[in-house]
Amino acid sequence: MTRRGRRPANSQTRAAVMGAARETFAARGYLGATIRQIAATAGVDPSLVLYFFGSKDQLFRTVLTSSVDGRQLLSQLFDGPADELGQRLVTRFLRLWEGDAGATASALLRTAVTEQRFGTLVREHIAPAVTTTLVERVGVDPAQASVRAALLASQLSGLVLARYLLRIEPIASATIDWVAAAIGPTIQRYLTGALPTPPATAPPVLNTG
Amino acid sequence: MTRRGRRPANSQTRAAVMGAARETFAARGYLGATIRQIAATAGVDPSLVLYFFGSKDQLFRTVLTSSVDGRQLLSQLFDGPADELGQRLVTRFLRLWEGDAGATASALLRTAVTEQRFGTLVREHIAPAVTTTLVERVGVDPAQASVRAALLASQLSGLVLARYLLRIEPIASATIDWVAAAIGPTIQRYLTGALPTPPATAPPVLNTG
């Protein structure tokens, strides 16, 4: 039985699949989304999704990397004088998350937390990009940049968890200005304040994952 | 065909199912774990798991609430003088997470992030328990206790993400003492320091989740 009205395999169709994938991953996360749902939303046959993208894994990576121009985003976030960066960075970060980028970013965070191989994406791409930005744009000592980037990640990722994913009150309902005033000083210290001597490189034995 | 050597429906069997469930949820998370796997690990028929616990959802809640004596845990975490609490709290929190409680706690966090209804568990049970502890044991002004608890959650949950789930270096491999020295001052300020005027109660429109 031929299906009438289905889309042909051209670049418009590819864009429709990308749009459907972005929407479905944002709503259901990586694990919850299926190729079948994405195909139905895009109005195509599931085999066409696989024809364009190969696998759900590959489709998810494509959605992520095409949604976000990482370098431009980081430049925006870290722009301006370093000595007032904390509060400004939190404000910009939350505005971004509450804009178009947020749904995709939430899907990435949910997936990175549950699927080891997407944790790698954060570790190997996002963290090093932030480290580089700290050196180039904020003037952080290169020897401390990765420590400062990791501390920054520890507070911003937890802020996203508390405000958007777990919705813990009153942080979930607070204004961006309030959150920036409360958390800004933490970010400022992590970026430019005094820190304890950098950690030893020998890893402790961790039994959790 | 009767299966020989399967366990009967008694309290030892229930305990074996609980053990298998704890292990399976910790290894695979809520979504990844199946009743079938848990039953196989426990050496029982899947129907017996449902007989004891009703559903995967109910089994997960039972594992969580029976693994952790919340009040005792919170008392331990917040014990001692309030003016040196930050660094001490981070140290104790990380030791707990790297002990027996960590695997279950990681499974809870992963699941709370991906499944809305388990986010509710954190919002409605864990956050209020921390708020009460701040008032009773740390002497926090009741009017500020929920704000301070939410800020605490934003840093500790992000620390767990960065160190254990995303494994961002050098925080993933740093000693507990180093992490406590770096993050302790943040926790101290969130618990006892000056904060901006408490946030307005009117929630902003959030388009992410």
Confidence of residue A65 (pLDDT cuts 50, 70, 90): confident
Q: Where are the alpha helices (DSSP H) in chain A?
A: 11-32, 35-42, 46-53, 56-67, 70-78, 85-97, 101-114, 116-121, 127-138, 142-160, 176-192
Could you give the CA distance from residue A209 to residue A158 in angstroms, rounded to a whole number?
17
Confidence of residue A203 (pLDDT cuts 50, 70, 90): very low
Statement to judge: residues B51 and B150 lie in one domain: no
CB distance B113 to A114 below 8 Å: yes
Question: pTM value?
Answer: 0.79
Statement to judge: residues A139 and A59 lie in one domain: no
CATH of the domain at A99: 1.10.357.10
Whether the pLDDT of residue B209 is over 60: the answer is no
Instruction: State the Cα angle at A188 between A184 and A189, rounded to 5°.
Output: 120
Contact B166 A119 (CB under 8 A): yes
A174: left (phi over 0), alpha (psi -120 to 50) or beta: beta
Statement to judge: residues B62 and B123 lie in one domain: no
Nearest CB neighbour to A203, from listed B173, B181, B204: B173
Tokens 């997960």 appear where?
B60
Structure tokens, A94: 């939350």
Least confident of A179-183, A201-205, B76-80: A201-205
Contact A157 B147 (CB under 8 A): no
Contact B158 A163 (CB under 8 A): no
Confidence of residue B203 (pLDDT cuts 50, 70, 90): very low
Whether the pLDDT of residue A57 is over 50: the answer is yes
pLDDT given at position A145: 95
Best mutation target among B154, B159, B177 (most A Cβ atoms within 10 Å) is B154
Whether the pLDDT of residue B208 is over 50: the answer is no
Statement to judge: residues A121 and A136 lie in one domain: yes
Whether the pLDDT of residue A29 is over 80: the answer is no
For residue range A113-172, what is the model confidence (pLDDT) as tens digits? 777 767 777 788 788 889 999 999 999 999 999 999 999 999 999 999 999 988 999 999
Could you give the CA distance from residue B164 to residue A153 in angstroms, rounded to a whole number?
13
Alpha carbon of B13 to those of A117, B16, B88: distances in Å?
A: 35, 5, 40
CB distance B207 to A103 below 8 Å: yes
Q: State the total domains in chain B.
A: 2
Whether the pLDDT of residue B204 is over 80: the answer is no
Confidence of residue A111 (pLDDT cuts 50, 70, 90): confident
Statement to judge: residues B114 and B56 lie in one domain: no
Statement to judge: residues A175 and A160 lie in one domain: yes
CATH of the domain at A39: 1.10.10.60
CB distance B49 to B39 below 8 Å: yes
Statement to judge: residues B112 and B188 lie in one domain: yes
Q: What is the DSSP string of B85-100?
A: HHHHHHHHHHHHHTTT
Q: Is residue B130 included in any domain, yes or no?
A: yes
* Interface predicted TM-score (ipTM) of this complex, two decimals: 0.78
User: What is the residue range of B124's domain?
Assistant: 68-192
